[in-house]
Homo-oligomer: A and B are copies of this chain.
């Protein structure tokens, strides 16, 4: 796989790098942020995959979350990929919530999206294979994300029992089949058959989970998308009904921004470190 390191910056005793690598499954070059904590010099470190939200690239998380401090404390590699395939031959749409920057971590089945929009396969298989080819990275994995990326983290963990030691999310879209963001994206990527959408919806997946991996979710109660798009009460009800362990923390005053993520990413990384280093 062709790989080029395009950024390399000392950060909290380790290195914040950005790579461009060829993705065969997406049919394009992808950029990905990789934070290497100082502990990689002593041996392989576990990896936390971070999935970003609508409109983001790999840059948002690595420049704004302040996560490197905690990764350096706990000896965890942070891998932050882009949010969709990119390039001139990749389909796109008007609006920020479909097409580039809005891959929704699914495998599209409909034209014109199916030829490139396979972010699920990229995140679950191709990206970890690329990461773990480096002897600095172990195969102990955790996954987290924000908003659309919180949806990605939760669905991917639920669909792949045993593959991740821990999962968490900030302000996730928990029921995309029931809210405008998800309905628009799924209609385009997956077509009109709403039964097929359920395979990509946390609230649906939790009902049939084969593994009781605890879910950790933080949600600001001043989030401008709380009522219309996020609806954490649907996750709470589904988890209660299924008996699935869920810690949902409503955070008074916090909104949907990276100031919210920065305030609690230390808690999340400590949570993942406990599972990854156990």
Residues on A close to B: CB < 8 A? Answer: 9-13, 16, 63-64, 66, 68-69, 220, 222, 251-255, 257-260, 262-263, 266
Copies in the complex: 2
- Which of the residues B11, B220, B258, B259 comes within 8 Å of A263, measured between beta carbons? B11
Measured between beta carbons, the chain B residues less than 8 angstroms from A266 are: 69
Measured between beta carbons, the chain B residues less than 8 angstroms from A222 are: 10
Q: A11-B259, A13-B263, A63-B63 are in contact. List 4 more A-B contacts (CB 8 A).
A: A9-B257, A10-B252, A12-B262, A16-B259
Measured between beta carbons, the chain B residues less than 8 angstroms from A252 are: 10
- Which of the residues B16, B254, B262 comes within 8 Å of A66, measured between beta carbons? B262
Kindly state the separation between the CA atoms of A63 and B258 in the bound complex, as whole angstroms: 8
A187 shortest CB reach to chain B, Å: 33
Kindly state the separation between the CA atoms of A260 and B15 in the bound complex, as whole angstroms: 11
CB pair B66 A260 closer than 8 Å: no
In the complex, residue of chain B having the shortest beta-carbon distance to the beta carbon of A252: B10
Kindly state the separation between the CA atoms of A271 and B14 in the bound complex, as whole angstroms: 23
Measured between beta carbons, the chain B residues less than 8 angstroms from A10 are: 220, 222, 251-255, 259-260, 263
Measured between beta carbons, the chain B residues less than 8 angstroms from A251 are: 10
A67 shortest CB reach to chain B, Å: 9
Enumerate 23 A-B pairs (CB-CB under 8 Å) in ascending A order: A9-B254, A9-B255, A9-B257, A9-B259, A9-B260, A10-B220, A10-B222, A10-B251, A10-B253, A10-B254, A10-B259, A10-B260, A11-B259, A11-B262, A11-B263, A13-B263, A63-B64, A64-B64, A66-B66, A66-B69, A66-B262, A68-B262, A68-B263
